[in-house]
């Protein structure tokens, strides 16, 4: 694993943590522990499915939309499993959209730096 990939992975984790905190911490007032868990889960799921599988095969737009939807689905699963964590349509919309935009920009970095090839 090269340093560029490690940096990209840490950046993706930080981005997902900030986006989860903005949607579900600031707006949704959820416990920070579950926001961290959601950010980590979203990072891992989107890395494996979005960045390593979908992005090289179908391109940035499809991968970004998929990452946004996977983020929302992950938040809904956490909502169902954890009684102390709650989502609303607004927090889900904000989370999904911000992930879509963030991942679109992140995918451009991955493709331009040749960490992922199409």
Domain locations in the chain?
A: 3-112
Q: How far apart are CA 67 and CA 71, in angstroms?
A: 6
**Residue 58 and residue 30 in contact, taking contact as beta carbons nearer than 8 Å:** no
Q: How far apart are CA 102 and CA 118, in angstroms?
A: 19
Mean pLDDT by 10 residues, the chain (118 residues): 90 98 97 98 97 97 98 98 98 99 98 92
**Residue 66 and residue 49 in contact, taking contact as beta carbons nearer than 8 Å:** yes
The beta-carbon contacts of 97-100 under 8 Å, at least 24 apart in sequence, are: 97/68, 98/19, 98/22, 98/23, 99/16, 99/19, 99/42, 99/46, 99/67, 99/68, 99/71, 100/64, 100/65, 100/67, 100/68
Q: What are phi and psi of 43, to 5 degrees?
A: -60, -50
Residue with tokens 């963030």: 102
| pLDDT (0 to 100) of residue 27 | 96
**Residue 34 and residue 82 in contact, taking contact as beta carbons nearer than 8 Å:** yes
């Amino acid at each position: 694993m090269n340093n560029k990939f490690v940096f990209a992975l840490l950046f993706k984790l930080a981005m997902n943590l900030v986006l989860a905190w903005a949607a579900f911490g600031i707006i949704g007032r959820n416990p920070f522990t579950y926001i961290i868990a959601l950010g980590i889960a979203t990072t891992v799921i989107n890395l494996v499915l979005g960045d390593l599988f979908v992005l090289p095969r179908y391109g940035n737009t499809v991968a970004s939309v998929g990452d946004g939807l996977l983020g929302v689905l992950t938040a809904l699963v956490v909502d169902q499993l954890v009684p102390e964590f709650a989502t609303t349509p607004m927090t889900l919309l904000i989370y999904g959209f911000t992930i879509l935009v963030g991942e679109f920009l992140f995918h451009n970095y991955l493709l331009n730096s040749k960490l992922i090839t199409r």
